[in-house]
Structure 1
């Protein structure tokens, strides 16, 4: 008669196929059938088998998602509570797992067998925590090594590494950013990101920095963030006042460009933008049909040269 063709919403057929794969150890093959069956009927036994299959193939987040559908059921039996705690551990939800281990002492009467089972789960927790800590330390050492050659990488890679560095302990972050700030080939936006954290943490001491083809030094504890910088706030206010109401789309385009320039100029914004009004005027002229600058206006000319220099730096470093 040929192979059975499942009808739409044929729960029993999907369940049968899922369990045949499951019981023969073919967990990966069982997943599509479990998924279809569970979509049609959220049976408790099906839930535990589906969750087990997901756990066995390493799909821990999905396993927790399915188990959570029947959370009270998993709390109803000690064996299921053991399994759910193991899922928490594999999802690296260590605090929840530790709380579950404490809770079981009050809820379930301990026998020799259950004590051994919970001890095994406790060992799994400790092993997983140690594994994650080791991986974390290895990743930090990799990032520290990469910080010395960050200038050899693309802007996208530089940004990705800096994003990770921002999450490491401050002492190690300071160690990593010193070579980054002094490297002439690291993008100015990446350097600004590093300096902002140093400033936020009020880090003491001096840091050498290669900024706009100049060797300089900074004291992070004396700096503010870009957003809170007085000149930045004045420029953004003027842009909003002059352009936002009359031309919102132009305003958004200008804000993106201005923000990018601030990152490139940080932490020496005040040395370049000596007049927020004239700086905004330069942007207006750049976006208008006539962008000629009066030769007699020395200050504006000087800032215009800086604006061109920033744009060249962006082209060179990206």
Structure 2
């Protein structure tokens, strides 16, 4: 009569095709059939075969996801418990793997036939953990090296590297921050990001920084984050109060621009913005040529206006 036709919900056909591939070692080909069959029926044996295929092709996260569907089933069988522990190790869930190894001594009686397998899993745990630590150290060393040449990269590349640097331990981060802060060609937003972490970690000591074409020195332990800066909070509050209700779109544009300006001015915000109200009025004037800035110290307003243009140029130069 010919070959079986795969109807949309033909569980038996998908399972047969999956097992044909599985038993002949064609795991990559088996997985799509396992997936379709498993969507129709979450059979325990199918689950273990599907999980095994995923494990064999290195898709450990998906293997764990499928195995978790039948977690209690994996705990009943010692061989499956060993397999599940191996999956945890490959997913780098080392604490869970350690707990599983401890749990098995209570759950399963010691048998010569399985003791070797548990020992192999224990060795796998130690080897994988060592491998991960070496990879982490290698990555940290690479990122520190990148920090020294960050000024030669585009803003997008600088941002990507900084996101990775933010994840590393504080010690190497401090080492990487020093060349970043003193490099005149690193974007001010990137420098602000580095300073914020140093500030939030209360890092002591002094750091040289190249800030808007000036060489300065900062002490992170006495700084707040941009978000906690009093002037930042006041400017944002004034923008909301004066603009948001009347023109939400204009408000969003002003907030975006102001946020960029604060990143560039950080950590010397107080030196530049001597009046949050006047600073906000300068934004309003910028977006409305007919807006009149309230009377006050003309020299202070003029200085802040010059600073605003200077920051704009800084963003253009480092873009």
TM-score interval, smaller chain: over 0.9
Cα RMSD of the aligned pairs, angstroms, is: 1.5
SS at match of 2:313: helix
Q: Partner of 1:116 in structure 2?
A: 116
1:71 aligns with 2:68: no
Q: Deviation per CA, 1:32-88, whole angstroms, max 9, x where unpaired? A: 110111111111000000000000000101011111111110011000000011111
Does the CA contact (< 8 Å) of 1:235 and 1:279 recur in 2?
A: yes
User: Is the CA contact 2:4–2:13 (under 8 Å) kept in the aligned structure 1?
Assistant: no
Q: CA deviation at 1:25?
A: 0.3
Is the contact between residue 295 and residue 301 of structure 1 (CA under 8 Å) also seen in structure 2?
no
CA distance in structure 2 between the partners assigned to 1:143 and 1:297 by the alignment: 47
Matches within 5 A, 1:48-127: 48-127=48-127
Q: TM-score by structure 2 length?
A: 0.96
Residue aligning to 1:37: 37
8 Å Cα contact 2:232/2:262 also seen in 1 = yes
Consecutive unaligned residues in structure 1, runs of 5 or more: none
Match of residue 209 from structure 2: 209
Secondary structure of the corresponding residue to residue 196 of structure 2: helix
Contact 1:55 1:87 survives alignment (8 Å) = yes
The DSSP-based 3-state class of the residue aligned with 1:75 is helix
Paired residue for 2:223?
Answer: 223
Q: Who is 1:302 aligned against?
A: 303
The equivalent of 2:250 in structure 1 is: 250
| Bigger shift: residues 3-12 or 50-59 | 3-12
Query: Which range moved further: 308-317 or 23-32?
Result: 308-317
* 1:15 and 2:15 aligned: yes
Please list the CA deviations of residues 78-124 of structure 1 after superposition, one character each: whole Å capped at 9, or x if unmatched: 00000011111111111111000000000000111211110000011
Cα drift, residue 298 of structure 1: 2.0
TM-score by length of 1: 0.97
Q: Measured at CA, do residues 125 and 296 of structure 1 come closer, stay the same or move farther in structure 2, by a change above 3 Å? A: closer
